[in-house]
Amino acid sequence: MPSSTCSAIDHGICIGPLTGAVGAEISGVDLRDPIPENVFEVIEQALLNHLVIIFRDQDISPEQQKVFASRFSDLQSHPFVESMNGIPEITEIVKEAWEVENWGGNWHADVTFLPQPSKGAALFAKEVPLQGGDTLFSNMYLAYETLSDGLKHLLDSLNAIHDSGEVGRFSDEFDGMRAKNAERIASVHPVVRIHPRTQKKALFINQEYTTQFEGMTPEESRPLLEYLFQHSVRPEITCRVRWQKNTLVVWDNRVTLHSPISDDFAARFDKTGFRRVMHRATFTGEKTS
């Protein structure tokens, strides 16, 4: 029987929202099997509605993950980190038991320093602890919609610079990941972008990569950016995804932020911590304006 938490049941798929703001768990589908087009349309609409969708108990191979992720979009490799051997569309993200931080850094949207940032991603949990290492997500539609009309009017006219920073930090600090020979990247994007499918406005800045407004110095930009960074991750517009082995999470990178929680306190205090291994398929990018 479908779970009582379902808000909708369509083609046998149960869609259960995580919060009122963002995220939904989807059950009733086996990602190892070919997915009919009408069923995939339900899944894709759930992603548009909830921005983050979670599939539990999916024992899939990297190749099967690639096939499913490619239903949403063509895929691309990470500009600074080597992909899995033989599967360039999948990046293996590893935190060893002695490492403290999870890969990904502060609240961010993926690769916004690229001229065409990724549309989204599908992240699969291969090895996770019984507790810890969760990921937070934030709804950037609501981050924009809950601003005052005056601030919306100001931000609608602004662009911002997104900078990768030193590229070595993406892999040099993680023993299980390999760096590519690449150079630092910076790009300019509108502070408010319009989603091409929903035509809704969303705030498009993030703590990890947005350094300043175009035409302003970093010092001039900092007070407003700091306000927006904090505003964008208020608890009421976020959700927390608790990872379990064989969980797949798909998110819309255009209208969400996410942050992996680095709560391995055993590793932090000189004890053996947990190992965390994730496989990420990244959707290709598109223009932000």
Residues known to be catalytic: 108, 110, 258, 280
CA distances from 136 to 34, 132, 235, 240 (A): 30, 12, 10, 4
The phi, psi pair for 148, rounded to 5°, reads: -70, 155
**Helix, strand or coil for residue 203?**
strand
- Residue 143 near residue 237 (C-beta atoms within 8 A): yes
d(CA 136, CA 80): 23
- Of 260, 257, 254, nearest to 241 by C-alpha is 260
- Of 67, 91, 97, nearest to 279 by C-alpha is 91
Contacts 24+ apart (CB under 8 A), 38-44: 38/11, 39/11, 39/12, 39/13, 40/71, 42/10, 42/11, 42/13, 42/15, 43/13, 44/71, 44/72
Strands 52-55 and 24-27: parallel
Identity at 60, one-letter amino acid code: I
For residue 207, give every residue at least 6 positions away whose Cβ sits within 8 Å of its Cβ, in sequence order, or none: 106, 107, 108, 229
- Of 230, 247, 246, nearest to 238 by C-alpha is 230
d(CA 193, CA 177): 32
Asked whether the CA dihedral 97, 100, 103, 108 is positive or negative, the reply is positive
